[in-house]
Chains A and B, each alone.
Chain A
Amino acid sequence: MAGPSKAGPALRLLRKGQVERAAEMFKKLLQQDASDLGCMVGLARAHLARKKFDEAQPLLRQVLSQVPDHGEAQSHLAFIDFQNGNAPALDVLKRLTLSRKAGFFEFFNAGTALLQRGDDQGAQVALERAKQADQKSPQVRVALAQMHMKRGDFRDAIAELKVAVELAATDPLPVLLLSQAYAAMGEAGHGADAVGKALLTQPQSAPLHERMVEVSLLAGWPQKAIKSAIALRQINRLNPDYAYMHAVAMLASGLVSEARHILEGALQKEPKSAALRQALAQTMRLMGEEAKALAMLEETAQHKPGDPGVAADLAVAYLKAGDAAKAQKVLKRALEEHPTHPVLLYDLALALGKAGDKAGARATAAKARASTDPLVAELAAYLLQRLG
């Protein structure tokens, strides 16, 4: 009988996430002892982690030739079959979870396949069992949290994600999802706190800084948004999006002329961006340059008539000038591309109301009131009251 496997050190490397180095070590050990089962399983895992299914398959078959009831190897092979489009492999994956000896991978593979098949209930059962088998797997926590978020159970998602953040402290993904769940709950401040904590260990993470700008703005903390926008610009000076985010954060902080200055610089790099031109027009208007702002919006609308921000700003300018027909025209054109856009719907309700079409105004305002944006929902409710 073969002695104990020498896979230990390579497995430890694999667990640290050093997949390439671990794979090399497994290969070397297998050259010394081609029958080392632990190394075969380890190398197969390394291949699966890199989606190299074709390389994992022969190793797993070899494991089964020596230990025919090796549950993990059977599960991985069935999972690869399922990924290759063999639907009945799902039944094999389910059957393997029923074994008394079933371990983490049997449950994890079945849960993932069930999730892909759209069987959320079955997936949840399998993933909960996977969680019991390995309490410290951040992947299972994230998978469960994704299912909770899909169903709108944000509290449960937050509970799982908090653990995932602790378990995968150097990966930005769990924190990104956690802040998203908090934002969906209307608790953007908690999201900003979580991102801020993660930034202490990952100060150069662009996705984390981007999220910090977003959730800080949502939480009403523009200073934090400015700080992260500046960090983003230091990470990548060439990205015009980061300059734009910086300008929006400055605008939110009341620094209008500074924001305009940054936007004018970014416009040279992205002259066709409707978002940039719209933000610039808003700074011009705030600075009292109404004619200049209108000219910029009209020029932008010619190139991008469906842009919701530009259309809404133009409509407001036309409504202010008393031209409800022109306002309706630009709004209806943009609504063709964005039929549920809350601001477009709200402004159209106003334009219809101003033109005397109260029934049309009421119906449109009711649609705007359903918006998840609290400001639009509140104003739409007020408009409905006024319309009677």
Chain B
Amino acid sequence: MAAPADPKKPAASPPAPARTISGELGVAPAARYAGPDPKVVCGLLEGAGAPDQALKVVAHITGAPSPVTIGSEMVPALRGAVRTHLDLNLPPGEKPQPVGGAPVFELELALTRFHDRAYAVARVGPGVPLGDSDESTQTGLQKAAWKLPRPC
């Protein structure tokens, strides 16, 4: 005879579907992909020269090509490249809002902040003698001499 269920223990829940490492629900084995290799080739939509512009990487899915007949020739048509970032659908001039509490990284702003940090982190003295600093008017030799044991 089966032991009575412990009323203090919660009832056993049905097994949850397997999740991938990223938290996605696992895909059922029946839905496993058996189509052509997508053969993704990535490229830059525009040259990456401008240092204040984001990289615009796109992915061409060249698997299962669609050839187009021109006269007697077969030439592959090119599907639209898939972008590597979502389109934000923002009105012109509007900036993206933070998602999930994380601030949005803006390259231009980051460049300005980085530049301005030069005023803080520059390793040059203030142009006046310092009493307690590496920029003291004392030479390295003088400082070392100060630390040496004094002659009796």
Contacts and interface: CB of A to CB of B under 8 A. Distances in A.
The CB with the most chain B CB atoms within 10 A, among A51, A210, A238, A372, is that of A372
What's the dominant secondary structure at chain A's contact region? helix
A172 to B, nearest CB: 8
What's the dominant secondary structure at chain B's contact region? loop
Contacts of A38: 126, 128, 130
B86 A240 contact: yes
Nearest to B60: A375
A163 interface: no
Interface string A339-373: 00011001100100110000001000000000011
A280 B38 CA distance: 13
Interface in A162-205: 168, 171-173, 176-177, 179-181, 183-184
B138 to A, nearest CB: 10
Given A143-B115, A346-B78, A8 B33 contact: no
B75 interface: yes
A17 B120 contact: yes
B82 A278 contact: yes
Contacts of A215: 55, 57
Contacts of A173: 110-111, 114
Interface stretch (A84-92, A117-125, A305-313): A305-313
B34 to A, nearest CB: 9
Contact of A275 (B42, B85, B136): B85
B77 A347 contact: yes
A53 B49 CA distance: 32
Interface residues of B, number: 86
A137 B80 contact: no
B46 A11 contact: no
The CB with the most chain B CB atoms within 10 A, among A15, A51, A256, is that of A256
Contact of A274 (B31, B48, B60, B87): B87
B119 A49 contact: yes
B12 interface: no
Contacts of A93: none
Contacts of B116: 48-51
A34 interface: no
A360 to B, nearest CB: 12
B107 interface: yes
A230 B22 contact: yes
Contact of A49 (B64, B102, B117): B117
B21 interface: yes
Contacts of A103: 124, 127
A218 B123 contact: no
B3 interface: no
Contacts of A113: none
A4 B59 CA distance: 62
A261 interface: yes
B51 to A, nearest CB: 4
A137 B61 contact: no
Given A287-B35, A376-B43, A382-B75, A257 B27 contact: yes
Contacts of A180: 48, 51, 55
A352 to B, nearest CB: 9
Interface string B45-73: 11111111001011111111010111001
Contact of B82 (A137, A142, A279, A374): A279
B23 to A, nearest CB: 7
B79 interface: yes
B117 A5 contact: no
A320 B66 CA distance: 7
A10 B50 CA distance: 37
A237 interface: yes
B124 A139 contact: no
Contact of B57 (A8, A176, A217): A217
Contact of B33 (A237, A256, A278): A256
29 contacts: A42-B126, A71-B127, A149-B50, A180-B55, A210-B105, A217-B42, A218-B42, A218-B43, A218-B44, A218-B57, A222-B40, A233-B22, A235-B102, A248-B83, A257-B31, A278-B80, A282-B38, A307-B87, A308-B80, A312-B79, A312-B80, A313-B80, A350-B77, A372-B44, A376-B43, A379-B78, A383-B75, A386-B73, A386-B75
Give 8 closest A-B pairs by Cβ, nearest first: A8-B133, A309-B80, A312-B80, A238-B100, A4-B131, A139-B118, A41-B126, A373-B43
Interface of B: 20-25, 27, 31-33, 35-38, 40-52, 55, 57-64, 66, 68-70, 73, 75-87, 89, 99-102, 105, 107, 110-111, 114-124, 126-137
